[in-house]
Chains A and B, each alone.
Chain A
């Protein structure tokens, strides 16, 4: 019965050995070289991963040139043919799909997905297996814009304990601030992320390292509403907000302490107006905001923390990857 497990545990080793033994570094290196060779022309290589050639300085220079900095500058400096390719347009010659040829490929059967997946993921991933070695697609690559040149920040719930936040900045906003507070103040200002619970106050403050565009933020393990702000912390300590995010609510974990009192017939469920769903979304935020925060006064804590909302007594997790979740920040 456990053979699937056994075989899965073994095969990644085979694949690792195959990687070592086969000359796959060549085509890969070619791709990297091509991507890097594009970078000096003012754009980042494909994907969100940055190469050294995509240094923040390069980005800022191009960002100043127009509102949709990298996106438009990346395209405007190219000829029509290149623009077409970047936009995924057809080329005269069909794009080559490069496979590892028989001579390159190890004569080994396809390896199962790596261990570390759940049973269901392992099985589900089988339907995406082609039973063939990885391929490289040598089409001209569209270059994902590094910045869309707008102030925006968005918050997503990964799970009850982690939020994912990503953002973008309009360089003109920084320019305006520079004009107001001066070049020196801007130079020592920190791009800052504040994650707040709109119902209970308090904020997790993350002073961001330069160049990052996303962050995982630890959430309190209790069901709670969150909203994020992106801005600059000036040398004076003042926070200047550039963008506010959507509000999210982390999910309840564990059974509720209240028993369902109301029974509806299936036909009655159809009578519920469709806008009730939107009201549910709003109520989620309201009710999560009513949940007392760990830093609330004692009577507030008594109102929560029971088995009903899944919070673990004394298991308060500190929010923020680089700062604690506490009031008054």
Chain B
């Protein structure tokens, strides 16, 4: 029996970005980059672990928007085009670097190999639907897939319209059942945002456990005896695990975290910015520079400008990933030994991360996980990887305590999603939610077009509620796009509302157009807002 357990949680989520009205759309690259740099490489790692008999455990959120995008024909076809371009670019890069700068030829060959393998795994192994891969690992008993809010809506700020909170949970769990053919038991509350009382909606949807930021347990009342290293059950009947800060910082931290090592690949230096436009014209559809995913440089050192970065050496980076995996394991061993001594029961160390941190931000992240799971399996018996349900099966005792409202945002509450840069959205989101509830109660027996309008109104509301838009407005990355999305969905919702309360005419072509553009949750039933 191990001394303690480690519960890694990867929260995989991207907002629903799909623009059939454009032949290509820049923000769709978020999803394509996520697939190429995180999701497919992770699957390749998990496949290798499974094939080699490594007894790993991993918990992953697959958010409903991400599942929807993975299943969407248009986006998948565009991803094929994206992958073909990457393969073609890396092939051309071998020729170019042989002529111009041989230092990068080997790396170009590695890119060609890696992109080719990603394409093969995506297309051939999993039939262009990565959900097949996640289902396989789930069915093997290694991967715990949990759900999330329907569109990653930030639930604590939705609390003024309880039906909206309920709909986020209900739509998500129904969507999970449809795509993953099981009932979910766990949920990642969007942004780890918990509000006392929301257990009602979780329990109604059949959910049994979730995760909180550390102070969700340390500040709970009464005080849990074992801090964040044992789950609690709230009076509302949901089991909560909480984040262990020590293991989180080793990966998240930009100062002491592994991803900042000088031998790792530099995120910000990309050939899309370094090579002549004429050479790149086949890969930049509108002639505008952007990241292309081929990067030749390593972080190099502290305060080194982009122009002074040194070439990336893949073997050095992999050595570091192995070294860091060993260091992480060593720290977890010492941590659980110490905790077990004081707790008198096996501790659980919960380490949640954004999935996209592994591969997209930290290029070597999937290699790190690969080494870590292998070392954990082969080299020791002190700490074992686990999932929430597996841990609860072995150690079902939970102290009862009430967590406070909490999130994993800066300062632990709602500031990231509610500040002077984005607070203007909430009056409109709340009004739309209240109107949706009104519509759902008003229409008992709608005709076919009205039903379509009602269901589409629910989709538009859900899409407008995605926490990504407020987050982007706060972090100032692609603010215009975030505003556009908020505006578009509130606009479409408002038209549908006004048509359904008979202020304007409900026109089939318009409803049909909305259905085409915002086609998430085709099975949605507006009555979820009653």
A contact residues vs B (CB 8 Å cutoff): 1-8, 10-11, 46-49, 71-72, 75, 83-84, 86-90, 94-95, 97, 99-102, 105, 107-110, 112-114, 117-137, 139, 141-142, 144-145, 148, 154-160, 164, 166, 168, 213-214, 223, 246, 248-249, 251-267, 269-284, 308, 310
Contacts and interface: CB of A to CB of B under 8 A. Distances in A.
Contact of A156 (B157, B253, B267): B157
B253 A132 contact: no
B488 interface: yes
A261 B225 CA distance: 9
A256 B223 contact: yes
A191 B261 CA distance: 56
Given A4-B260, A123-B357, A158-B415, A263 B480 contact: no
B232 A119 contact: no
Interface in B284-310: 286-291, 299-306
Contact of B411 (A132, A159, A308): A159
A252 B412 CA distance: 12
A144 B487 CA distance: 8
Contacts of B21: 90, 94-95
B236 A280 contact: yes
Contact of B255 (A2, A257, A284): A2
Contacts of B491: 86-88, 142
Given A259-B225, A260-B401, A265 B396 contact: yes
Interface string B23-63: 00111011001100000000000000000000000000000
Given A251-B404, A262-B399, A132 B252 contact: no
Contacts of B514: 88
Given A134-B480, A269-B233, A157 B288 contact: no
Contacts of B199: 274, 276-277, 280
A8 B478 contact: no
B397 A142 contact: no
B492 interface: yes
B475 interface: yes
B414 interface: yes
Contact of A252 (B254, B397, B404): B404
B480 A136 contact: yes
A272 B262 contact: no
B22 interface: yes
Interface of B: 14, 21-22, 25-27, 29-30, 33-34, 156-157, 159-160, 196-204, 208, 215, 218-225, 232-239, 252-257, 259-262, 267-270, 272-274, 277, 286-291, 299-306, 354, 356-357, 360-361, 392-393, 396-402, 404-406, 408-416, 418-419, 423-428, 430-431, 468, 471-472, 474-481, 483-484, 487-492, 494-495, 498, 503-504, 510, 513-514
Contacts of A265: 396-398
Contacts of A276: 199-200, 203, 235-237
A132 B288 contact: yes
B203 A130 contact: no
A84 to B, nearest CB: 7
A256 B257 contact: no
B483 A47 contact: yes
Contacts of B480: 134-137
B225 A137 contact: no
B303 A6 contact: yes
A124 B400 contact: no
B488 A142 contact: yes
A22 B219 CA distance: 50
Contacts of A155: 160
A316 B196 CA distance: 25
Contacts of A83: 504
A142 B490 contact: yes
B476 A269 contact: no
A205 B276 CA distance: 62
A166 B427 contact: yes
A263 B235 contact: no
A282 B234 CA distance: 14
Contact of A256 (B222, B289, B360, B475): B222
Contacts of B408: 120
Contacts of A261: 222
B268 A109 contact: yes
B157 to A, nearest CB: 6
B301 to A, nearest CB: 6
Nearest to B205: A274
Given A3-B304, A102-B287, A123 B234 contact: no
Contact of A105 (B14, B288, B356): B288
Contacts of B301: 3
Contacts of B397: 263-265
B237 A266 contact: no
A128 B477 contact: yes
Contact of B256 (A1, A130, A136): A1
Contacts of B424: 47-49, 144, 214
Contacts of A101: 287-288
A1 B268 contact: no
A262 to B, nearest CB: 4
14 contacts: A2-B254, A5-B255, A10-B303, A90-B21, A108-B273, A110-B273, A120-B354, A156-B157, A166-B426, A223-B404, A255-B219, A256-B220, A258-B222, A277-B201
A257 B418 contact: no
A289 B329 CA distance: 46
Contact of B414 (A11, A144, A158): A158
Given A164-B418, A281-B196, 7 more contacts: A86-B491, A88-B492, A109-B268, A251-B406, A256-B219, A256-B221, A276-B236
A148 to B, nearest CB: 5
Nearest to B284: A102
Given A1-B260, A123-B354, A90 B513 contact: yes
A132 B25 CA distance: 12
A128 B34 CA distance: 10
Given A114-B476, A276-B237, A280-B234, A87 B219 contact: no
Nearest to A269: B233
Max chain B C-beta neighbours (<10 A), residue from A1, A47, A154, A253: A1
Contacts of B354: 120, 123-124, 127
A254 B219 CA distance: 5
A131 B291 contact: yes
Nearest to A142: B491
B236 A87 contact: no
Contacts of B477: 113, 125, 128-129
A160 B26 CA distance: 39
Nearest to A31: B480
Contacts of B478: 128-130, 134-135
Contacts of A89: 492, 495, 510, 513
A158 B30 CA distance: 29
